[in-house]
Amino acid sequence: MIKFLDLQKVTAKYAHEIHEAVRRVVDSGWYLQGQENERFEANYAQYIGTKYAIGCANGLDALIWIFKAYVEMGVMQAGDEVIVPANTYIASILALTENNLVPVFVEPKFNTLEIDDDMIESAITSKTKAIFIVHLYGRCAYTEKIGQLCKKYNLKLVEDNAQAHGCYFGNQRTGSIGDAAGHSFYPGKNLGAFGDAGAVTTNNKVLAEVVRALANYGSTRKYVFKYCGRNSRLDEIQAAILDVKLKHLDDDNEYRKDIAEYYIKHISNPCVSLPVTMDRRNNVFHLFPILCTKRDELHDYLEVNDVQTIIHYPIPPHKQECYQEWNALSLPITEQIAQQELSLPVSPVMEMGEVRKVVELVNRF
């Protein structure tokens, strides 16, 4: 069986370093808000290219705290609108509705699967306060046009960098391009913890301070609560593990790119569309999405032939039961992607023989 992602093999690559890191934390007797957090936050901020990184419990919380911080700072208020890609994981939308902000869905480009920057300006109104881009599948969603629109209309630029650790736009890593970015370290991510974990990166000192307080019950100092926050802290064991894996992230990403380039060069099937190529630095291939007019049949065919694939995401946010107020929206490109997307296995522990087998099967289908 070719697994979609073999986490046991991923862990085994760095097992000695990880075991040493965990042992260090266990022996220290200090499990929250200690030196491991300080070390990882400093190293991750330096890696991303921002002044601040604030660890928190998970990627959804990271996004929630960014927008809640803007509300607390008076930059946004309930009822304000935020431009967001229509094809994204639901966490991007939950972060807005949790803060009583209104998502304004913009369709993606079919050949990139990222937000269509040609459609953003027509969606901007007097209530728009931010453009919220999602570097979906590991591909950079930012464009110079998006940056120009933010300047023209005085909008915040927020990044969902959950799937794109290590990705670049020019000489900047994603997560440092906008005013703030949320990161997920869910185990399956390019930089994955041994459970849920997340972080916010920013160059804004005030925003960083508010986010840190919100994730610690709203407290700026012990027993003093300036905000109504929650308990959303990154624990010391996860921080230590992430710091180990951060050292190897770029090498792992390069191998992902090698696999993706092999797929792009060798897959040839008339019912399969491949992602349009771009500069190698602009995609870390958290996922390798293809579009197939016979998606479900291809999924079953590969499964029978011992290849695991996953559909990301079969029901777009505006069609989810929890958002019935948007169920009647017609977003045909997003809906077509939801009906055709299939993610092939890509990981830093796949063997090239396995990659060749996937290609042969897809071409034979």
What's the token pair of residue 215? 């994730």
Mean pLDDT for 171-191 is: 98
* Confidence tier at 319 by pLDDT (50, 70, 90): very high
In this prediction, residues 163-174 reach a mean pLDDT of 97
Per 3-state DSSP, what percentage of the chain is helix, strand, and coil (rounded to 5)? 45, 20, 40
Mean pLDDT in residue range 228-256: 98
CA 270 vs CA 51, 219, 274, 294: distances in Å: 47, 57, 11, 11
Give 133-155 as a DSSP string.
Answer: EE-GGGB----HHHHHHHHHHT-
For the stretch 7-42, pLDDT in tens is 999 999 999 999 999 999 999 999 999 999 999 999
Write out pLDDT tens, residues 110-154: 999 999 999 999 999 999 999 999 999 999 999 999 999 999 999
pLDDT band at 278 (very low <50, low <70, confident <90, very high): confident
**For residues 188 and 59, what is the distance between their CA atoms, to the nearest angstrom?**
12
Provide, rounded to the nearest whole percent, the portion of the chain with pLDDT above 70: 100
- The stretch 321-325 carries a mean pLDDT of 98
Q: Residue 191 carries which DSSP code?
A: S
d(CA 30, CA 237): 10
d(CA 37, CA 19): 17
Cα end-to-end span (Å), the chain: 18
User: Left, alpha or beta for 134 (phi > 0: left; psi -120 to 50: alpha)?
Assistant: beta
Please say if the pLDDT value at position 323 is more than 90: yes
CB 162 within 8 A of CB 189: yes
Q: What pLDDT is stored for residue 23 in this prediction?
A: 97
Within 8 A by CB and 6+ apart from 74, the residues are none
Distances (CA, A) of 255 to 161, 179, 323, 347, 360: 20, 30, 39, 8, 20
| Averaged pLDDT of the chain | 97
pTM for this model (two decimals) = 0.97
Q: Which of 269, 278, 251, 9 is nearest to 138 (CA)?
A: 278
Average pLDDT over residues 220-249: 96
Average pLDDT rounded to a whole number, residues 163-181: 98
Q: Write out pLDDT tens, residues 51-79.
A: 999 999 999 999 999 999 999 999 999 99
Q: What pLDDT, on the 0 to 100 scale, is given for residue 310?
A: 98
Phi, psi of 27 (to 5 degrees): -70, -25
Return the pLDDT at 327. 98
